[in-house]
Amino acid sequence: MIFAMAGSAIGLGNIWRFPFIVGEHGGAAFVLIYILATLLISLPVFLAEVTVGRRARTSSYGAMSSLSPGKSIWKFAGILSVAIPLIIDSYYSVIGGWSLDFLLKSVTLQFVKSNPQEVTSIFGNFITSTWSPIILHLVFLGACAFIVANGIKAGIEKFSKYTIPVLFVLIVLLIYYSVSLPGASQGVKYLLKPDFSQVNARSFAYAVGQSFYSLSLGMGAIITYGSYVKKEENLMVASAGTAVSDLMFAMLAGLAIMPAVFAAGIEPGAGPGLIFQSVPFVFSTMSASHPAIGAAVSIIFFLTIVVAAMTSCISLLEVGVSFLKDRYGVSRIKGSIILFLICGAAGVLCSLSFGPLKGLTLWGMNIFDIFDWLSSNILLLVMALLTVVFTGFVLKKEDVWDEITNGGTKKFNAAIFNVVYFLIKWVTPVAIVIIFITNFIF
> Smallest distance, Å, CB 322 to ligand PHE?
13
Residue 312 contacts ligand PHE per CB under 6 A: yes
Contacts of 389 (CB under 8 A, 6+ apart): 429
Residue 384 contacts ligand PHE per CB under 6 A: no
> Smallest distance, Å, CB 319 to ligand PHE?
8
Q: What residues form DSSP beta bridges with 365?
A: 362
Spatial separation of the C-alpha atoms in residues 3 and 161, rounded to whole Å: 9
Residue 339 contacts ligand PHE per CB under 6 A: no
Q: For the beta carbon of residue 196, count every other beta carbon within 10 angstroms.
A: 12
> Smallest distance, Å, CB 216 to ligand PHE?
4
Closer residue to ligand PHE in complex, CB, 249/417: 249
H or E element at residue 251: helix 235-263
Spatial separation of the C-alpha atoms in residues 251 and 168, rounded to whole Å: 12
Spatial separation of the C-alpha atoms in residues 218 and 216, rounded to whole Å: 7
113-137 in b/e form (b: 16+ CB < 10 A) is ebebeebbebbeebbeeeebbbebb
Which of these ranges, 75-83, 128-136, 269-277, 308-316, lies near ligand PHE under the rule CB under 6 A? Answer: 308-316
Closer residue to ligand PHE in complex, CB, 235/309: 309
Which of these ranges, 10-18, 111-119, 362-370, 392-400, lies near ligand PHE under the rule CB under 6 A? Answer: 10-18
Which of these ranges, 6-14, 151-159, 266-274, 276-284, lies near ligand PHE under the rule CB under 6 A? Answer: 6-14
Residue 96 contacts ligand PHE per CB under 6 A: no
> Smallest distance, Å, CB 305 to ligand PHE?
11
> Smallest distance, Å, CB 437 to ligand PHE?
25
Q: For the beta carbon of residue 355, count every other beta carbon within 10 angstroms.
A: 15
Which residue type is seen at 244? V
Residue 376 contacts ligand PHE per CB under 6 A: no
Residue 14 contacts ligand PHE per CB under 6 A: yes
> Smallest distance, Å, CB 246 to ligand PHE?
7
Residue 310 contacts ligand PHE per CB under 6 A: no
Residue 254 contacts ligand PHE per CB under 6 A: no
Residues 255-294 that bind ligand PHE (CB under 6 A): none
The CA–CA distances, whole Å, from 41 to 6, 327, 354, 375, 433 equal: 18, 32, 33, 18, 12
> Smallest distance, Å, CB 160 to ligand PHE?
11
Alpha helices in 264-290 (DSSP H): 274-289
Q: Which of 22, 221, 279, 295 binds ligand PHE (CB under 6 A)?
A: 221
Q: Which of 51, 99, 163, 216 binds ligand PHE (CB under 6 A)?
A: 216
Residue 12 contacts ligand PHE per CB under 6 A: yes
> Smallest distance, Å, CB 316 to ligand PHE?
5
Q: Which of 5, 6, 7, 11 binds ligand PHE (CB under 6 A)?
A: 11
How are the residues of the chain apportioned to helix, strand and coil, as percentages rounded to the nearest 5? 80, 0, 20
Closer residue to ligand PHE in complex, CB, 263/379: 379
Largest CA distance in the chain: 67
Q: Contacts with ligand PHE: how many residues (CB under 6 A)?
A: 13
> Smallest distance, Å, CB 13 to ligand PHE?
2
Closer residue to ligand PHE in complex, CB, 242/405: 242
Spatial separation of the C-alpha atoms in residues 43 and 28, rounded to whole Å: 21
25-62 in b/e form (b: 16+ CB < 10 A) is bbbbbbbebbeebbeebbbbbbbbbbbbbbbbebbbbb
By three-state DSSP, how is residue 279 classified?
helix
Q: Tell me the CB-side half-sphere exposure of residue 81, using CA atoms within 13 A.
A: 32
Binding site for ligand PHE (CB under 6 A): 8-9, 11-14, 214, 216, 219, 221, 312, 315-316
